[in-house]
Structure 1
Amino acid sequence: MKKLLLSVLFLSVIGLVQAQTNLYENPEFDKIAESHKIIAIVPFKTQVKLRPKQMKDMTTEQLQRIERSEGESIQSAMYSWFLKRKKRGDLQNLEIQDPRITTAMLKKQNIDYDNIMDFTPKELANFLEVDAVISGEFETDKPMSEGASVALGLLIGFWGNTNSATINMSVHNAEDGVLLWNYNKQVRGSLGSDSENLINTLMRKASRRLAYTKHSKNDDDN
C-alpha cells in the first residue's frame, strides 16, 4: 500500500511540472553557425498574466514597468547561461554581446523594449553588428526577476514561486533574416526563485539541439 501511495505521489509531481515543448531546427543551422563569430540577445517581450483581483490594485503603467524588468531579466539570464557554457568550453569561437552594449547600440537607433517588436530580427542583428540575434517572448503568471517580483509583492502582496511559464525563443541569421532555431516550451510547477534558475530549467534539454553549444554532462545539473 505504501509503494502504491509513493507511486501516486511521484506521478502527481511529474504531472505538476509537465511541459509542452516544440522545437524547430533549420537543416542548415549547423553549417551556418560555423561562420558566426558574435551573437546578441535582445530583451524578451514579456506578459505577466495576473488575476483580475491582483490587477485592481495596479495601474497599467506599473504592470508595464514590471514586464519590462522581467524581459530585461530574461535577457541577462540568457546571457549568463551562454557565458557559463563558454567558460566550460561548450562554445567554440563564439562571442556573446554584453546586454549593456546591446541596449546602448539599440538606443542609438531609437529602439527600446517598447518598440523592439516593430523591427525585424534581421534589422536588429544588423544594427547590433552581430551574426545572429536571439529574441523571444516570455509569459508567466508571476515575475521571476528580483526587481519585478519585489515590486509586485509590495504592490499587491503577491509572493511565492511561479506556477507556470512559457518561453518562445528564436535565433535568426543576420545575413538573410532566416529563422535558424525556434524553441517553445511551457512548464507548470515550481520553477525556482529567479530568472537564472528558470532559464536553466527551460534550456536544459534544448541546448542539446542548439548548434552553438556542445552538450555537457553538467547540463543536467545547471
Structure 2
Amino acid sequence: MKKILLSFFLLTFFQNVVAQTNLYENPNFDELAKTHKIIAIVPFKTQVQLRPKQMKDMSAEQLNRVEKSEGESIQTAMYSWFLKRKKRGDLQNLEIQDPRTTTAMLKKQTIDYNNIMDFTPQELAKILEVDAVISGEFETNKPMSEGASVALGVLFGFFGSTNSATINMSVHNATDGILLWNYNKKVSGSIGSNTEDLINVLMRKSSRRLAYTKNSKDKD
C-alpha cells in the first residue's frame, strides 16, 4: 500500500509541475571541465514576489533577510545535490567547496549577499581559489528555506501547497571568466516543500547536459 501511495504521489507531483527551460552549453565546456579540480557555489541573488498586502506589511529590511535566507538556502541545496553525485562516483576527481568556506573567504574581502553582484565570476573565482564558479538568480512567490518560511509564517500565515519558481544558473570558467553553461528554468505547481526538493526538480533533466555530471544517469 505504501508503495502504491508513493507512486501516486510522485505521479501527481510531476503532473502538477509546469516547466519552461532554456539551456546554453559552451562547445568547449566538456574539455574545460576535465581540467577543473574544484568549483564553488555562491549564494543566489533572490527576489521574493509576495502578494501586495504582504509586501505592504513587510519592511525592506525584513524582505532583504528573507531573500538572503533563500539565496543561501539555494546555495546549500545545490552543494548537497553535488555531494550526492560525488558520493555515488559521478563527479570523479571534482571537489565542491563547502559553502562555509566560500562564505568565510568572501567575507575576508568584504563580499556578502548584498554586494556579490558587484563582482564578476572571474573575480570571485580568483578570491575563492577555484576553477569555476556557479552563480545565479532565483525568483519565487513562496519562500522555501526554513528561516524565511518561519519568519513569513508568523507574519502572514499559511502560504498554500502550490508555488512557482524561476532559476537562472550559470557556470563560469575561472581563468578567463567565459560562460560555460547557463540554465534558465521556470516551474510551477507542487514543487516540494523545501529548497532541496526544488533543486532536485530543477536539476533532474539539466544535469544530463552539465559537463560535470552528463555521463551519469540521474537518479535521486
TM-score by structure 2 length?
Answer: 0.91
State the aligned residue count.
209
Give the Cα separation in 2 of the matches to 1:88 and 1:75. Answer: 21
CA gap of 1:162–1:118, structure 2 versus 1, over 3 A, is farther
* Shift in Å, 1:128: 0.2
8 Å contact kept, 1:139–1:166: yes
8 Å contact kept, 1:45–1:71: yes
Name the aligned partner's letter for residue 68 of structure 2: R
* Aligned match of 1:164: 164
- Cα deviations by residue, 1:112-156 (Å, 9 ceiling, x for unpaired): 000000000000000000000000000000111111111111111
> Percent of counterpart pairs with the same letter?
80
- Give the secondary-structure state (helix, strand or coil) at the position aligned to 2:124: helix
* Aligned match of 1:148: 148
* Aligned match of 2:7: none
8 Å contact kept, 1:144–1:162: no
* Map 1:56-95 → 2, pairs under 5 A: 56-95=56-95
- Give the secondary-structure state (helix, strand or coil) at the position aligned to 1:168: strand
- Give the secondary-structure state (helix, strand or coil) at the position aligned to 2:171: strand
8 Å contact kept, 1:171–1:182: yes
* Shift in Å, 1:54: 1.4
Name the aligned partner's letter for residue 109 of structure 1: Q
Asked if residue 101 in structure 1 is aligned to residue 101 in structure 2, the reply is yes
Report the more deviating stretch, 194-203 or 56-65.
56-65
Q: Which ranges of structure 2 fall in alignment gaps of 5 or more residues?
A: 1-10
Give the Cα separation in 1 of the matches to 2:162 and 2:95. Answer: 32
* Shift in Å, 1:163: 1.4
* Aligned match of 1:7: none
Q: Which ranges of structure 1 fall in alignment gaps of 5 or more residues?
A: 1-9
Asked if residue 41 in structure 1 is aligned to residue 41 in structure 2, the reply is yes
- Give the secondary-structure state (helix, strand or coil) at the position aligned to 1:136: strand
8 Å contact kept, 1:135–1:171: yes
* Shift in Å, 1:162: 4.4
Report the more deviating stretch, 71-80 or 205-214.
205-214
* Shift in Å, 1:161: 3.4
Give the Cα separation in 2 of the matches to 1:22 and 1:169. Answer: 11
Name the aligned partner's letter for residue 85 of structure 1: R
- Give the secondary-structure state (helix, strand or coil) at the position aligned to 2:181: strand
Asked if residue 31 in structure 1 is aligned to residue 31 in structure 2, the reply is yes
* Aligned match of 1:192: 192
Asked if residue 125 in structure 1 is aligned to residue 120 in structure 2, the reply is no
Give the Cα separation in 2 of the matches to 1:114 and 1:158. Answer: 28
- Give the secondary-structure state (helix, strand or coil) at the position aligned to 2:35: coil
Give the Cα separation in 2 of the matches to 1:141 and 1:124. Answer: 29
8 Å contact kept, 1:77–1:195: yes
Q: Once superposed, which parts of structure 1, at least 4 consecutive aligned residues long, lie more than 2 Å away?
A: 158-162, 214-217
Give the Cα separation in 2 of the matches to 1:30 and 1:98. Answer: 24
* Aligned match of 1:19: 19
* Shift in Å, 1:215: 4.6
Taking only aligned residues, the RMSD between alpha carbons, in angstroms, comes to 1.5
Give the Cα separation in 2 of the matches to 1:186 and 1:100. Answer: 28
- Give the secondary-structure state (helix, strand or coil) at the position aligned to 2:211: coil
* Shift in Å, 1:214: 4.0
Give the Cα separation in 2 of the matches to 1:147 and 1:104. Answer: 20
Name the aligned partner's letter for residue 50 of structure 2: L
TM-score by structure 1 length?
Answer: 0.90
Name the aligned partner's letter for residue 106 of structure 1: L
Report the more deviating stretch, 49-58 or 77-86.
49-58
